[in-house]
Structure 1
Amino acid sequence: MKRASLVPEFTVPSPEELPERWPGRSVDLDGNVAYVRDTPAIAPDAEPAVYVHGLGGSSTNWTDLAGVLAGRLDGQAIDLPGFGNSGRARSYSVQAMAQHIIRWIEHSDRGPVHLFGNSMGGAASVKAAAMRPDLVRSLTLISPAMPFLDPRRSLQGRLVPLLLLPNAASLAKSRMAAMDPEVLADMVIDSCYADPTRYPEQRRLEAIEEARLRHDVPWYAEAYVGSLRGLVGSFLRAYLPGEGSIWRAAGKITAPTLVIAGRQDRLVDIRTAPQVARLIPDSRLMMLEGVGHVAQMEVPRTVARAVLGLLDELAENQPVAERVRTGVRAKGAQVRMAS
Structure 2
Amino acid sequence: MNVVLNEALTRRELRVPDGKISYLEWGADEAGKAPLHFAHANGFNGQTYRRILEELSDRFHIRAWDARGHGATRLPADPATHRNWYVYRDDLIRMVEDFAEATGQKVILAGHSMGGAASVMAAAARPDLVRGLVLVDPVMTPWSFRYLLMAFRLLGMKGGPMSLADGAEKRRAVFPDGETIVNRYLGRGAFTTWPRGFLEDYVAGGTRLRDDGQVELSCAPAWEAANFRAHGHNISKAVRNLNVPLALLHAEHGSTCRGSFPQKLKRRDPGAHIMQVKGSTHFLPMEFPELVIQEVRDFAARLEAEGR
Q: Would the TM-score normalized by the shorter structure come out above 0.5?
A: yes
Deviation of 1:37 after TM superposition, in Å, equals 0.2
Spell out, residue by residue over 1:136-181, the C-alpha distance to the aligned partner (whole angstroms, 9 max, x if none): 0011111000114569xxxx96561696xxxx89x92x64237762
Q: Distance in 2 between matches of 1:87 and 1:41?
A: 23
1:248 to 1:308, Cα distance in 2 relative to 1, 3 A: same
Spell out, residue by residue over 1:95-121, the C-alpha distance to the aligned partner (whole angstroms, 9 max, x if none): 110000001111332451000111011
SS at match of 1:38: strand
Spell out, residue by residue over 1:219-249, the C-alpha distance to the aligned partner (whole angstroms, 9 max, x if none): 723421222222x333xxxxxxxxxx32121
Q: Which residue of 1 aligns with 2:201?
A: 206
Query: Is the counterpart of residue 104 in structure 1 residue 95 in structure 2?
Result: yes
Q: Distance in 1 between matches of 2:164 and 2:258?
A: 24
- Preserved contact between residue 192 and residue 293 of structure 1 (Cα < 8 Å): no
Structure 1 runs not aligned, ≥5 long:
1-18, 235-244, 320-339
- Preserved contact between residue 38 and residue 75 of structure 1 (Cα < 8 Å): yes
* One-letter code aligned to 1:233: G
Q: Which residue of 2 aligns with 1:185?
A: 185
Scaled by the length of structure 1, what TM-score is found?
0.69
SS at match of 1:133: coil
Give the helix-richer structure, 1 or 2: 1
- Preserved contact between residue 250 and residue 257 of structure 2 (Cα < 8 Å): no
Spell out, residue by residue over 1:1-46, the C-alpha distance to the aligned partner (whole angstroms, 9 max, x if none): xxxxxxxxxxxxxxxxxx9994312332224121000121796421
Q: Which residue of 1 aligns with 2:162?
A: 160
- Preserved contact between residue 138 and residue 257 of structure 2 (Cα < 8 Å): no
* One-letter code aligned to 1:227: N
SS at match of 1:63: helix
Q: Distance in 2 between matches of 1:115 and 1:213?
A: 27
Q: Which residue of 2 aligns with 1:40?
A: 27
Q: Distance in 2 between matches of 1:77 and 1:263?
A: 26
Match of 1:248 among 219, 227, 237: 237
Spell out, residue by residue over 1:304-338, the C-alpha distance to the aligned partner (whole angstroms, 9 max, x if none): 2222222112112217xxxxxxxxxxxxxxxxxxx
Deviation of 1:184 after TM superposition, in Å, equals 5.6
Q: Distance in 1 between matches of 2:220 and 2:74?
A: 9
Q: Distance in 1 between matches of 2:207 and 2:123?
A: 34
Give the strand-richer structure, 1 or 2: 2
Spell out, residue by residue over 1:166-203, the C-alpha distance to the aligned partner (whole angstroms, 9 max, x if none): xx89x92x64237762466337x74266x44xx1x333
Q: CA RMSD in A?
A: 3.5
1:229 to 1:270, Cα distance in 2 relative to 1, 3 A: closer
Match of 1:53 among 16, 40, 48: 40
SS at match of 2:92: helix
Deviation of 1:278 after TM superposition, in Å, equals 3.4
**Of the two structures, which has the highest relative contact order with CA contacts closer than 8 Å and spacing of 6 or more?**
1
Q: Distance in 1 between matches of 2:258 and 2:126?
A: 27
1:314 to 1:142, Cα distance in 2 relative to 1, 3 A: same
Structure 2 runs not aligned, ≥5 long:
1-5, 147-157, 210-214
- Preserved contact between residue 89 and residue 122 of structure 2 (Cα < 8 Å): yes
* One-letter code aligned to 2:42: L
